[in-house]
Structure 1
């Protein structure tokens, strides 16, 4: 590993901040000739699940709450981040995980080395379990799983995405189970014409995709196909096996509008992926730069087959009805050393809502259902959720009042040749929000949200062992309780060219936070924890050819009462970096050329599951990327260097050993070059 002296990543962070302050001081207030899509972009109404409505400020950017109630970004009574397709394309991220980790307030890291199912964290719930406290949807379909496997975002090609919305510290009424930190909504685009993209890089990186679509007055059809492969960074087995991977996705969707106020939609998505990833290094091996040492590997194969269908009917000018059905068949095969597992998943869900939309009142009643089943061949385990909710926004001059309530029932079953177990619970969520528009560009808001998380099936059922530690059965976990959180947000928005500036202060009280206690060997609860923090984001068009982006988060976590005698009282939640900063500087030296320099920094944090802090804080995370894009008519050529300064980064995990286990991540410089063409 090359160890650069002098101008390393942490100094680049400081230099970038100083440069940002200096350029702001020199900024011109003149009108930019660069297209500022953040200000001009208004998402198209999608007949599948969105009701068209007229906003007071037609040019204002729009936040769509799971495509249920639409509000202007400056008028939203909650904290949010919105990223449109131009910003996503401009980043030249390989996948959605890279975009989230480098461009947003969300942290994403390969889960124990697996790049296809990455752990995500938002608002201090930790890389260990943060993904279970954030609901992720794609076109309204819930991606959260019923067990301890993160959301499979690798099945969503980043080039198919129209918009990403991050709703923070709220959303439990609309999304239900697991929305303690908030929600990430991903909306894919409809292709019109054809789009071709391809890139290559070091270590055998190759990607190719094709998107095509036709749009007529009463009919549209759109689809894509892509293929990703990587030969791997290093040898992971003595037989010559490398940490190679491949991922293939296909999708097609169609919308029919037989009459003006009625539409039907139908879609099919198919994904396959396979990855070898190295087992962990010891801490000594990591410190000694033995990152290429052969440690054995795990193999993960996924197949996901999704069918969705729905309808939207505009009953009159104020009332509309929407119903969406989803059916996913998923297969997971995992091998690690002598351990093998094979699971078949069957996820069926629906989302129906009746929406009322008037000038001053916007309200909806919704019913959502999710039935998840996991079959291992020897046993069948299910988790069923059924939620009913109401939500309303009331607009009075410059004031927006928002309120909502949800009741959700959760049922568990376990069936084997010898056992048949059942259990159920009922949980509630509610939300109150207020936004005051000081003027058309500036607003302040506050929000109070009560949320919950029902345990997944891996936490709710414990194996029963014999005297020789062989599994002889399964029992309900009497040590686990549903998790509940109360969050208060206070923030401001200033959205007017050349600024998009947002800030939020928040405080969260959590009862019965779910975690794995390595001392007892059980999944159980921390009786009381708290999280408080500050979020700041700014996009500033300094000159017509120069812009900056800053995304900074601070979070402080504390275990108030561990519920187990006070061993962990006063400790931090592990896997949470108190400070995260993401800075970018974009420059157009000439009109067709865009240069983008970005830096991601995460401060030192305790290793995942190191609740007693026995290892101390681990190393911080630094990555600097640079890209160049040349555009000519409908053609785009780009090049990107990741980890420009060859920094060494890793995920650290407490498996109960004398030192942490280490999974190297972004530990060497990589590059890629490619093109994009539209016809």
Structure 2
């Protein structure tokens, strides 16, 4: 089966490019990219192979979330479920929290705590998005630490200079009691532009106990100082209340894949609260200088609390201790003093057992992330050919607070952990592009200093953290513009990822179920990337291809005992793996044949741990990274008003863990259908079916504490329909 799939994928990749020779000319317009330098740039001047998804694409495909959009991009993998995780170019889902940067209008959405929580990616109203730019494996000079996987920049709509009232309203219903409502409005008055957006999403998921109820609001005021200068203030807020089911054992999965996996009733409260304020100033100084200044404040708060009845377990524990003491008291020759002490302890246990009618087990956790930053960039064009240099500096003050407490209410505290840590980063960079006729030479250099400070407390054990780390990134590239539409490039980039503050301390087991925390000597990891790529317009289609090879030294990994992350009763350590390697290629194309539009994309990646501190991982493939991903879509314009379409996504199997000894998860092979009907120029209705053939696959497969596989099943066939009205 695997061999047949490889042949099929290779044949399809050849077909992608051969098919363009017969395509009808399509006027796609001029393509630009903003995320590579921080300023607008024509795609043919790019030394990356980016994937760009526009508002038009989002509307045509009926996407309802950022994670859905990103899942359609080759080289990007989404782990669905609670707080979807995103991975670019084979980092692995947990690793990508630190090595893939997610930006919203240039503001980083990544959290400082990379050990426990995925960065919230579905906090933006999908209808507010103008475009999403995905730059695989690039951006270290401009964006700094955490870009070896790539950069995802979500750019929201910014209306300007229209005195009419503008806006829209939409509503969608779907399977699992999914209800989504959107509304937006805006206008311009004199030199001011005003816009507001609101989105409400309430749904029950595929499985029992899967529920989310979220609200998103944003408001923007822009003042046009003159034709070349503006200043804009934006606020966005996100609120979410949610619950999520447990992983299922194989037996539970076979019995009912939609069950919650919770063996008892749980009173649970989970929240996400995110607020962001930003101020952006853009101006042109003379004819040669473009200046951008961005300041922002961002606060994310994720509190959780769960209470469950623990009476049976608690009484069982007391009874077990009492039985053990009775056995010890029956031993002949026990010293009198010891016998008295043990008898007193037994009496206390029996009294406690008799007086206890109910006991609650309470778990409280809270993740807080606060970020304050100022970023300054200036683009200076220094000759008539358009040669330019972008210079920038910035300062980011990022604080994190993580609190976790587990207790038997009124009886005893089992765990009480508090991390109060900060990372303050100063950055300076320069990115030069020198143009000689049809050749562009690009050089970039970045310096970054990070200072760590704070404490980590576990019950009465307190560890102080105070460190400073210097890092640098660099890039060299050559871009050849061989035609009016095409370019071919080669580049080298050195990227780095500095540790998160929480990774500087290990949790070490000193006795059975007894842990202490110790500061480690974790180093920053560095990545060397080599890439050759090609972009062009041929027969009205944007074509892209790239081949890449990267090697990471001192790759940071957090290893949990038993392979089970986020377990309170297991130890963990952050370590530098000796060396890892990734190589692969990406292909994408589009063709139009009269009323048909075809889009194809394919990515291949192979990963390996070359050197490791232990023999468990050396020579193994990195977990949760599919070698193959194929995305295919077709749209057919039945009339000027009615369009129908279909999508197919294939994602190969992946190893469950880095030992490669516990097998693989299941491949994802999903077929979707959709239709859109334009009632008027302002109103359209749409509908769709996801996973038409009801394929069985999993959001995630992990090992439990005993080493057995547990599963989070993904939805099978599901439906949606809705309308959108614009004015």
**Shorter-chain TM-score tier:** 0.7 to 0.9
* Distance of 1:198 and 1:363 partners within structure 2: 46
* Distance of 2:666 and 2:207 partners within structure 1: 23
Partner of residue 633 from structure 1, selected from 676, 681, 684: 681
1:69/1:426 CA distance change after superposition, 3 Å: same
Q: Could you tell me whether the CA contact under 8 Å between 1:489 and 1:506 is conserved in 2?
A: yes
Alignment of 1:314-463 (within 5 A): 314-335=284-305, 338-358=362-382, 359-376=385-402, 378-415=418-455, 420-463=464-507
Aligned to 2:323: none
Aligned to 1:243: 210
Return the offset for 1:465. Answer: 6.2
Comparing 221-230 with 211-220, which one deviates more in the overlay?
211-220
Alignment of 1:252-271 (within 5 A): 252-271=219-238
Q: TM-score, normalised by structure 2?
A: 0.82
Aligned to 2:617: 568
Per-residue deviation, residues 228-257 of structure 1 (Å, max 9, x unmatched): 00033333xxxxxx3111110000011112
Aligned to 1:495: 537
Aligned to 1:302: 272
Return the offset for 1:75. Answer: 2.3
Return the offset for 1:653. Answer: 1.7
Matched, 1:620 2:646: no
Return the offset for 1:119. Answer: 1.2
Matched, 1:475 2:518: yes
* Distance of 2:688 and 2:14 partners within structure 1: 22
Aligned to 1:544: 594
Aligned to 2:317: none
1:288/1:445 CA distance change after superposition, 3 Å: farther
1:20/1:556 CA distance change after superposition, 3 Å: closer
Return the offset for 1:518. Answer: 3.4
Alignment of 1:56-95 (within 5 A): 60-65=30-35, 68-95=38-65
* Distance of 1:508 and 1:77 partners within structure 2: 16
Matched, 1:535 2:582: no
Per-residue deviation, residues 284-307 of structure 1 (Å, max 9, x unmatched): 433565442533687631000111
Secondary structure of 1:365's partner? Answer: strand
Could you say what the CA RMSD is over the residues aligned between the two structures, in angstroms? Answer: 2.7
Per-residue deviation, residues 193-238 of structure 1 (Å, max 9, x unmatched): 0111111112211011111111356221111011000033333xxx
* Distance of 1:75 and 1:262 partners within structure 2: 25
1:14/1:246 CA distance change after superposition, 3 Å: farther
1:291/1:129 CA distance change after superposition, 3 Å: same
Unaligned runs of 5+ in 1: 1-9, 41-59, 236-241
Per-residue deviation, residues 355-402 of structure 1 (Å, max 9, x unmatched): 212543111211122211123465521122221111111122211111
Secondary structure of 2:304's partner? Answer: strand
* Distance of 1:404 and 1:428 partners within structure 2: 11
Partner of residue 192 from structure 2, selected from 208, 212, 219: 219
Aligned to 2:169: 196
* Distance of 1:179 and 1:640 partners within structure 2: 35
Return the offset for 1:18. Answer: 7.4
Q: Could you tell me whether the CA contact under 8 Å between 2:51 and 2:73 is conserved in 1?
A: no
* Distance of 1:109 and 1:335 partners within structure 2: 24
Unaligned runs of 5+ in 2: 160-164, 309-361, 404-417, 562-570
Return the offset for 1:319. Answer: 1.2
Q: Could you tell me whether the CA contact under 8 Å between 2:173 and 2:720 is conserved in 1?
A: yes
Structure (1 or 2) with the greater helix fraction: 2
Aligned to 2:91: 125
Return the offset for 1:423. Answer: 0.8
Secondary structure of 1:526's partner? Answer: strand
Return the offset for 1:674. Answer: 0.5
Q: TM-score, normalised by structure 1?
A: 0.87
Secondary structure of 2:93's partner? Answer: coil
Alignment of 1:95-114 (within 5 A): 95-110=65-80, 113-114=81-82
Secondary structure of 1:392's partner? Answer: strand
Return the offset for 1:346. Answer: 1.6
Alignment of 1:93-172 (within 5 A): 93-110=63-80, 113-114=81-82, 117-148=83-114, 149-172=117-140
Aligned to 2:343: none
Aligned to 2:249: 282
Aligned length: 628
* Distance of 2:219 and 2:603 partners within structure 1: 38
1:67/1:673 CA distance change after superposition, 3 Å: farther
Partner of residue 229 from structure 1, selected from 202, 205, 208: 202
1:78/1:294 CA distance change after superposition, 3 Å: closer
Return the offset for 1:641. Answer: 0.8
1:287/1:559 CA distance change after superposition, 3 Å: farther
* Distance of 1:20 and 1:548 partners within structure 2: 15
Q: Could you tell me whether the CA contact under 8 Å between 2:222 and 2:232 is conserved in 1?
A: yes
Alignment of 1:498-537 (within 5 A): 498-519=540-561, 521-537=572-588
Q: Could you tell me whether the CA contact under 8 Å between 1:508 and 1:530 is conserved in 2?
A: yes
* Distance of 2:220 and 2:503 partners within structure 1: 36
Return the offset for 1:516. Answer: 2.4
Q: Could you tell me whether the CA contact under 8 Å between 2:203 and 2:213 is conserved in 1?
A: yes
Secondary structure of 1:178's partner? Answer: coil
Return the offset for 1:517. Answer: 2.4
Aligned to 2:353: none
1:536/1:287 CA distance change after superposition, 3 Å: farther
Return the offset for 1:466. Answer: 6.6
Q: Could you tell me whether the CA contact under 8 Å between 2:245 and 2:260 is conserved in 1?
A: no
Comparing 277-286 with 616-625, which one deviates more in the overlay?
277-286
Alignment of 1:24-63 (within 5 A): 29-31=23-25, 36=27, 39-40=28-29, 60-63=30-33
Aligned to 2:605: 555
* Distance of 1:15 and 1:165 partners within structure 2: 25
Return the offset for 1:503. Answer: 0.7
Alignment of 1:596-607 (within 5 A): 596-607=645-656
Per-residue deviation, residues 607-664 of structure 1 (Å, max 9, x unmatched): 1xx1111212221112211110011311111001111111111111234533222111
Secondary structure of 1:129's partner? Answer: helix
Aligned to 1:652: 701
Q: Could you tell me whether the CA contact under 8 Å between 1:365 and 1:391 is conserved in 2?
A: yes
Comparing 142-151 with 517-526, which one deviates more in the overlay?
517-526
Q: Could you tell me whether the CA contact under 8 Å between 2:477 and 2:490 is conserved in 1?
A: yes
Q: Could you tell me whether the CA contact under 8 Å between 2:75 and 2:136 is conserved in 1?
A: no
Aligned to 2:711: 662
Aligned to 2:644: 595
